[in-house]
Structure 1
Amino acid sequence: MASGAEGSLDKSDVVIVGGGMVGVALACALAPSGLSIRILESREGSPQALIDALPALAEQGFDPRVSALTCASQQFLTHVGAWPNMQASRVCPYTDMDVWDGRGTGAIQFSAAELHEPCLGHIVENRVTLAALYSVMLESENIRFDAGVKIESVSPPDQQGKRTIRLAGAQSLETALLVGADGAQSRIRALTGMGATEWDYGHHAIVTTIETEKPHRFTCWQRFTEDGPLALLPLADPSERKMSIVWSTSPAHARELMALEDEAFCAELGHAFEYRLGEVRACDTRFLHPLRQRHAQRYVQSGLALVGDAAHTIHPLAGQGVNLGLLDAAALAEVLLDARARGESPGDERVLRRYQRMRRAANLQTAAAMEGFRRLFDDLPAPVRLLRSGGMSLVNRMAPVKQHLMLMAMGLRGDVPRLARRGLS
């Protein structure tokens, strides 16, 4: 594998713009096909540098960016060879999930034991996942990673569907398939005129790592407050008292919370969480993220595909964002590998439409469900809140319904891409 952006750039079968988890996972899944793959990343820094720094970073603390990876995501990461490295670093399985209505009496408890499963999923630091994927990528001779790359323009497709990418410094690169995996503010989506529908959730999310008085018991906790959902996610800490939080609230309230000293913030957090795990004893640096929903009107054109946040972003209340992106990568890899076996071009729009059919409707359905769920917990009249709490309690007593919801959320039921299905070797 070569790296660096010096010298002339030649032709590649697939160019992936974005060296994050979704883009690199896609490259690793495609590597066995023999396709020549190029990853273009705007940020500086080599993949090996992150791998080398990971032990020291772990000693310093936890990455504030974590993901609640489903069983389907775990299966896909296992398929590409990254999961063993992730386990060797640190992952935290969670066996239970407690969700309750902060303005009512409704509550639902989910447990892996009800499904005879070892866990419901894993909480993993994003840098752990990315470093593991980088390790796989570096072993692949047909993947090249270029860091610090700025894309100036993307040509329309030629008669064969090929695109020419012009980079800063008058360099150009031709590819049969350009994949936008460059996040919510996707430059590829903008440069190619791929429109997206978006709106502001009216929420900002505060993210940090905290330490609680009581152990987390490998449980994910979520309270729906009057301002928005508050989630506490267990981390792989020997004391079982380290947790990652995602506190979604109104922009004004978020700014107030960000302005507090750590001790005062911990007190506010403990109160908002109803002291389910006792006092909040400490918190790391806090980060604030505005929340918007986006969905590309199309995922594909001739010689072009969008995956992950470049195609869609949703509210983090159910932790499905990165899982949807990894399923996109699994689905696109499946389609391209099958096309390769049939001798079809990876940029053929007829090929790419198969990926769009597999993922766009499913992602829209998830986005609609998350939006409906969020609206359900808005500041509603008392009679509606009463019905909401009653409905949650009813579902909690209906074992078959709960089991179905859990299996769907875990990616063990439904139309899951082949590379993310359980049982695939």
Structure 2
Amino acid sequence: MTQPIETDLVIVGAGMVGLTLAALLADSGLKIRILESREIEPQQALAWELSQREKGYDPRVSALTVASQQVLSVAGVWGKIQQMRLMPYRAMDVWDGEGTGQIRFDCTELHEPCLGHIVENRVTQAALTQQIAEQNNVEFSTGVEIVEMTEADADSQRVLTLNNGEQCRVRCVVAADGALSSTRRLAGIGMWEWDYGHHAIVTTVTTDKPNRATCWQRFTDDGPLAFLPLPEDGLSSIVWSTSPDHAKALMALDETEFCQALEQAFESRLGKVLHADQRFVFPLRQRHARQYVKAGFAAIGDAAHTIHPLAGQGVNLGLMDAAALAETLLDSLEKGVQWNSEFQLRHFQRARQSENLQMAATMEGFKQLFNSTEPLARLLRNSGMNLMNRFSPVKNHLVQQAMGLSGNLPRLARRPIKD
């Protein structure tokens, strides 16, 4: 019988979070292998992402924080993103569509150049793919899935059986294969999950007023509607979270009717909505893994948790996971301890699980607060927003945490202190 191929670290999933982890560990001395179920090869993937970029904007974008920018800089990727396409946003306007509450965050109040960057997911993906293709110790296997995974042995190692019949002995497996992670299920880790009762519609729209490098978010009883600025002044990426029935009705509209409905829902803040690209819709569920680690196993990103997109924190949380896991592994390697043991991997779990649960609870609280039609709840949320808008210390503290300038951040996500 053929002996299993030996490797140190297998990362399952070549999305943004999995590739970021690989890039952060590229100089660790670990032998790394990425498994991706898609058939496309890395260089073909890069060429495809770049060709799609030329055809228009990706409807899937992320509001990357300063902390995420730092992680991607350490991974050697941020410069590549800058050479492609990104949009720094300088302000954020949030208001209660059913009341008078509003709050504005502005980078000038923090003496920062911007609050963050809107980056198309395919641009980040292309930059990461290019970075990984330049590494010698990272093997990229495509069209490959794990069909069996043994329990960890005394050395915390596992044997993987792949769909091509190959067997691989691995010191640590990292699940980065999304919310429906088959790798997490093979590891025997369950999830807490529930339906938000929302579907999200995403697309790119053209308005007759400029986006003013501002993120806009209107809260309604049905859910939040966000306009995120793109590099061309009249373009924005939208995320419209609403009830499943309303989303179905909106998806059935023709382009003109949809633009009119969108303009009305957004209170014409950017004037007329002139055009909408193809629309996509997906259901929103909150999920959280009951544990992130076992011996020789860790789950990161959507494989460990998903939250409502109303604050745009999903990808940022995943990148913080990648940074925290990379730190845990690098620190263990430096100390010469068994880096793949459950005891060592629990350092990563302790660093991230409470942070992710706290963010999930905050998003659920926001959703419940703005979904309430009770007069007292409306009065409290409107009064609270207006009071916070006038009280700069509290407002600035809140936005600094959202930007990743403060709080319990992984070391690799902290911006260097200037001399």
What is the 5 A alignment of 1:160-175? 160-175=155-170
Deviations 1:32-82 (A, max 9, x none): 111000000111212212322344322210011110000000000000100
Q: Which moved more, 1:186-195 or 1:314-323?
A: 186-195
Q: What residue in structure 2 maps to residue 43 of structure 1?
A: 38
Structure 2 counterpart SS, 1:32: coil
Deviations 1:86-132 (A, max 9, x none): 00000100000000000000000000000000000000001110111
Q: Of 151, 154, 166, which residue of structure 2 is paired with 1:156?
A: 151
2:90 matched to 1:95? yes
Q: What residue in structure 1 maps to residue 129 of structure 2?
A: 134
Q: Of 197, 201, 210, which residue of structure 2 is paired with 1:215?
A: 210
- For 1:345, the aligned partner's letter is Q
Deviations 1:262-320 (A, max 9, x none): 11000000000000000100011100110000000100000000000000000000000
Q: What residue in structure 1 maps to residue 326 of structure 2?
A: 333
2:136 matched to 1:178? no
Contact 1:79 1:424 in 2 (8 A): no
Q: Of 270, 274, 281, which residue of structure 1 is paired with 2:274?
A: 281
Cα distance in structure 2, aligned partners of 1:246 and 1:168 = 37
Cα distance in structure 1, aligned partners of 2:187 and 2:314 = 23
Q: What residue in structure 2 maps to residue 354 of structure 1?
A: 347
Structure 2 counterpart SS, 1:149: coil
Identity rate, percent: 57
Structure 1 counterpart SS, 2:231: coil
2:381 matched to 1:388? yes
Q: What residue in structure 2 maps to residue 3 of structure 1?
A: none
Contact 2:7 2:169 in 1 (8 A): yes
What is the 5 A alignment of 1:122-271? 122-237=117-232, 240-271=233-264
Q: Give the total of aligned pairs.
A: 417
TM-aligned CA deviation for residue 424 of structure 1: 7.6
Contact 2:217 2:227 in 1 (8 A): yes
Cα distance in structure 1, aligned partners of 2:182 and 2:49 = 29
Q: Which moved more, 1:80-89 or 1:147-156?
A: 147-156
Q: What residue in structure 2 maps to residue 295 of structure 1?
A: 288
4+ aligned runs moved over 4 Å, structure 1: none
User: TM-score of the superposition, structure 1-length normalised?
Assistant: 0.96
Structure 1 unaligned residues grouped into runs of 5+: 1-6
Cα distance in structure 1, aligned partners of 2:18 and 2:339 = 16
Contact 1:47 1:131 in 2 (8 A): no
Cα distance in structure 1, aligned partners of 2:98 and 2:28 = 53
Structure 1 counterpart SS, 2:25: helix
Q: What residue in structure 1 maps to residue 8 of structure 2?
A: 13
TM-aligned CA deviation for residue 8 of structure 1: 8.9
Structure 1 counterpart SS, 2:385: helix
TM-aligned CA deviation for residue 9 of structure 1: 6.5
Structure 1 counterpart SS, 2:26: helix
Q: 1:408 to 1:20 in 2, by over 3 A?
A: same
2:361 matched to 1:375? no
Cα distance in structure 2, aligned partners of 1:43 and 1:270 = 38
Cα distance in structure 2, aligned partners of 1:94 and 1:372 = 26
What is the 5 A alignment of 1:51-90? 51-90=46-85
TM-aligned CA deviation for residue 191 of structure 1: 1.1
After superposition, the CA RMSD in angstroms is 1.3
Q: What residue in structure 2 maps to residue 4 of structure 1?
A: none
Deviations 1:350-377 (A, max 9, x none): 1100000100001000110110011110
Structure 2 unaligned residues grouped into runs of 5+: none
Cα distance in structure 1, aligned partners of 2:108 and 2:348 = 35
Deviations 1:149-203 (A, max 9, x none): 1221111001111011111132111110000000000101111110110000000
Deviations 1:216-271 (A, max 9, x none): 0000000001200000000112xx01110000000000000000001100000000
